[in-house]
Amino acid sequence: MNNREQTLSIIKPDAVERNLIDDIKKIFISNNINIKNSKKIHITKDEAAEFYKVHQSKPFYNDLCAYLSSGPIVVMILEGENAILANRKIMGATDPRKAEENTIRKLYGISIDKNSVHGSDSKENAKKEIDFFFKD
Ligand code: ADP
Ligand code: MG
C-alpha cells in the first residue's frame, strides 16, 4: 500500500534551548521521514493561542501558549509513508514518563509540558497546521 503523507512537526523551546535540533532531525531521517521544509521561528503568545485553539478549554491552555511562545521553535513539514501516525510513534506519549524507549519524548522530554516535540494527530489537523506555518 502506498500512502505518502505530510505532517507538521515542531521542535519545542525546551529542545531548541538544549541544542537538540540536529539530534531530533536525525531520528526522523533514520526512520525514513523526509524533512521537506524547516524553519526556526519565534512566535507570539497570540499566535500560539491560535495554533493550540483546540485546547482552549483545557486547564493548561494558558501555560501551554506561554510556553510555546517562550523561545525559538523549529517548525517542519515531514513527509513519508503514513507520516502522521509514523511521527506520532517516533515522538512517543505526551507524558515522557509514559513514552516508549527510544522515542523522542522518552529520550529528551523533561515533563508533560516540556515534552520537546509536537506532531499533528490527524490528516485534517496536519493540513491545517502545515497551512498555519507555511502558507504565505
Ligand atoms: P500531544 O502533544 O501528545 O498531541 P495534546 O494534544 O493532548 O498532546 O496536548 C498538547 C500539548 O499540551 C502537549 O504536548 C503538552 O505539551 C501539553 N499538555 C497536554 N496535557 C497536559 C497536562 N495535563 N498538563 C500540562 N500540559 C499538558
Ligand atoms: Mg495534540
Give the pLDDT band of residue 136 (cuts 50, 70, 90): confident
List, for residues 71-82, the tens digit of each pLDDT value.
999 999 999 999
Question: Whose CA is closest to 71, among 44, 38, 53, 52?
Answer: 44
List, for residues 31-86, the tens digit of each pLDDT value.
999 999 999 999 999 999 999 999 999 999 999 999 999 999 999 999 999 999 99
Beta bridge partners of 6: 79
Residue-range domain boundaries for the chain: 4-133
**Residue 47 CB less than 6 A away from ligand 1:** no
The Cα–Cα gap between 134 and 49 comes to 17
Question: Whose CA is closest to 125, among 2, 3, 5?
Answer: 5
Fold of 4-133: Alpha-Beta Plaits (3.30.70)
Question: If you measure from the C-alpha of residue 88 to the centroid of ligand 2, how many angstroms do you get, rounded to a whole number?
Answer: 9
Q: Which residues are catalytic?
A: 118
List, for residues 96-108, the tens digit of each pLDDT value.
999 999 999 999 9
Atom 18 (ligand 1) nearest CA: 113
Q: Say what the pTM is.
A: 0.98
Question: If you measure from the C-alpha of residue 2 to the centroid of ligand 1, how many angstroms do you get, rounded to a whole number?
Answer: 31
The Cα–Cα gap between 67 and 126 comes to 21
Rounded to whole angstroms, the maximal C-alpha distance in the chain is: 41
Q: Which three cell numbers stand for residue 62?
A: 494558558
* Residues 5-17, mean pLDDT to the nearest whole number: 99
